[in-house]
């Protein structure tokens, strides 16, 4: 079964959501605050696959997310017929829930943080019962000290909890550049630990002055990212449920929206059509 493909829904891409290349939608929970019906976010378009993406579970923090937050998230998922829920492998606030940073920080890649993260994800999965949960690898610039690598930490989380991997292809690319590792190796080593997979694709830019790649969601997706995506699809063959393109700034015109999602689908179709070597 090929992955469902679509956009992280924004006001700016609603006009193209009925494009035949699109059969999936991702709703950001924190933006789904004005009523609980799918049509508020997606118009009258029917999707094969809807996922609700949360920003504030702070799963790599010391404590599980508040029950109230999970309950509101479940309401949005139910009202929109969502097949899945996701959030990030990072933390956004202090242990008391009193101070929020407004962005994700990567945890220290340590055994202690791994244990806390797995306990939090177990709580979330218990709460959502049989609705699959996916954890997204984040792009980070600052790295806390820890005895594990990011790859070991992420693989450990996926293995211990059995949750899905929301593989943000661009974040792997960004971290590879900014922290000096091979994004292809990272994906091939982590993928076996993932029970199921969603993907994010986005375009950022390399800031020459600062000397790092910025995951800005503001640029067209480049060939480097498309190639890594193609590789990730092959690595995750048979377990990729959905692919979502994220764009949050410098929005393209209608043709631009349509061509990028078309390209994401063309690559899937190109791989599906390749001859099966095992059958020869
Ligand atoms: Fe993402």
Please report the domains of the chain, with CATH numbers, ordered by start residue.
Answer: 4-274 (3.20.20.150)
- pTM for the model stands at 0.94
Ligand 1 geometric centre to CA of 159 (Å)? 21
d(CA 201, ligand 1 centre) in Å? 7
Confidence at 237, pLDDT banded by 50, 70, 90: very high
Confidence check: pLDDT of 279 > 50: no
- Ligand 1 centroid–CA 20 distance in Å is 23
Alpha carbon of 280 to ligand 1 centroid (Å)? 38
Share of the chain above pLDDT 90, in %: 72
Cβ distance 167 to 135 under 8 Å?
no
The answer to whether residues 51 and 77 touch, using CB atoms and an 8 Å cutoff, is no
Q: What pLDDT score does 105 carry? A: 84
- How much distance in Å is there from the Cα of 279 to the middle of ligand 1? 36
Pick the closest to residue 85 from 153, 164, 171 (CA basis): 164
State the DSSP code for 109.
-
> Ligand 1: distance of its center to the CA of 56 in Å?
14
Tell me how far apart the alpha carbons of residues 30 and 23 are, in angstroms, rounded to a whole number: 22
Q: For residue 255, how far is its CA from the centre of ligand 1 (angstroms)?
A: 23
Mean pLDDT in residue range 163-192:
97
Q: What angle do CA 22, 28, 34 make, to 5 degrees?
A: 110
- What's the 278 CA to ligand 1 centre distance in angstroms? 34
Query: Residue 263: its pLDDT value, please?
Result: 98
* pLDDT over threshold 90, residue 275: no
Nearest-angstrom CA–CA distance, 19 and 42: 12
Tell how far the Cα of 171 is from the centroid of ligand 1, in angstroms. Answer: 7
Distances (CA, A) of 240 to 121, 127, 189, 211, 229: 20, 23, 16, 33, 12
Query: How many angstroms separate the CA atoms of 26 and 38, rounded?
Result: 11
**How many C-beta neighbours within 10 Å does residue 91 have?**
23
252 CA from centroid of ligand 1 (Å): 18
Residue 81 alpha carbon to ligand 1 centre in Å: 21
How many Å apart are CA 127 and CA 17, to the nearest integer? 31
Distances (CA, A) of 5 to 23, 66, 72, 85, 200: 6, 31, 26, 16, 10
pLDDT in tens, 96-131: 666 666 678 888 999 999 999 999 999 999 999 889
- Per residue in 24-60, pLDDT (tens digit) is 999 998 877 655 555 666 667 789 999 999 988 888 8
Q: How far is the CA of 258 from the centre of ligand 1 (A)?
A: 19
How far does residue 246's CA lie from ligand 1's centre (Å)? 7
Q: Does residue 197 contact residue 242 with C-beta atoms inside 8 Å?
A: no
| pLDDT of 60 | 84
């Amino acid at each position: 079964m090929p992955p469902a493909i679509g956009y992280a829904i924004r006001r700016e891409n609603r006009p193209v959501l009925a494009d035949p290349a699109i059969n999936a939608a991702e709703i950001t929970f924190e933006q789904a605050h004005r009523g609980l019906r799918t049509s508020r976010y997606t118009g009258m378009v029917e999707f094969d696959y809807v996922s609700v993406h949360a920003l504030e579970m702070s799963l790599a923090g010391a404590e599980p997310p508040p029950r109230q937050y999970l309950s509101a998230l479940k309401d949005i998922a139910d009202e929109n017929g969502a097949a899945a829920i996701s959030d990030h492998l990072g933390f956004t606030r202090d242990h008391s829930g009193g101070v929020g940073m407004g962005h994700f920080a990567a945890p220290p890649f340590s055994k202690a943080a791994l244990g806390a993260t797995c306990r939090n994800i177990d709580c979330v999965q218990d709460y959502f019962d049989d609705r699959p949960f996916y954890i997204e690898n984040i792009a980070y610039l600052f790295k806390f000290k820890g005895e594990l690598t990011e790859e070991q930490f992420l693989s450990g989380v996926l293995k211990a909890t059995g949750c899905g991997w929301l593989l943000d292809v661009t974040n792997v690319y960004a971290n590879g550049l900014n922290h000096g590792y091979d994004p292809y190796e990272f994906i091939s080593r982590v993928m076996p630990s993932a029970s199921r997979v969603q993907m994010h694709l986005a375009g950022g830019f390399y800031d020459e002055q600062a000397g790092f790649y910025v995951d800005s969601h503001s640029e067209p997706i480049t060939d480097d990212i498309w190639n890594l995506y193609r590789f990730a699809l092959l690595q995750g063959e048979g377990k990729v449920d959905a692919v979502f393109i994220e764009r949050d700034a410098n929005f393209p015109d209608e043709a631009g929206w349509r061509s990028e999602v078309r390209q994401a689908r063309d690559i899937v179709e190109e791989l599906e059509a390749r001859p099966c070597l095992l059958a020869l």
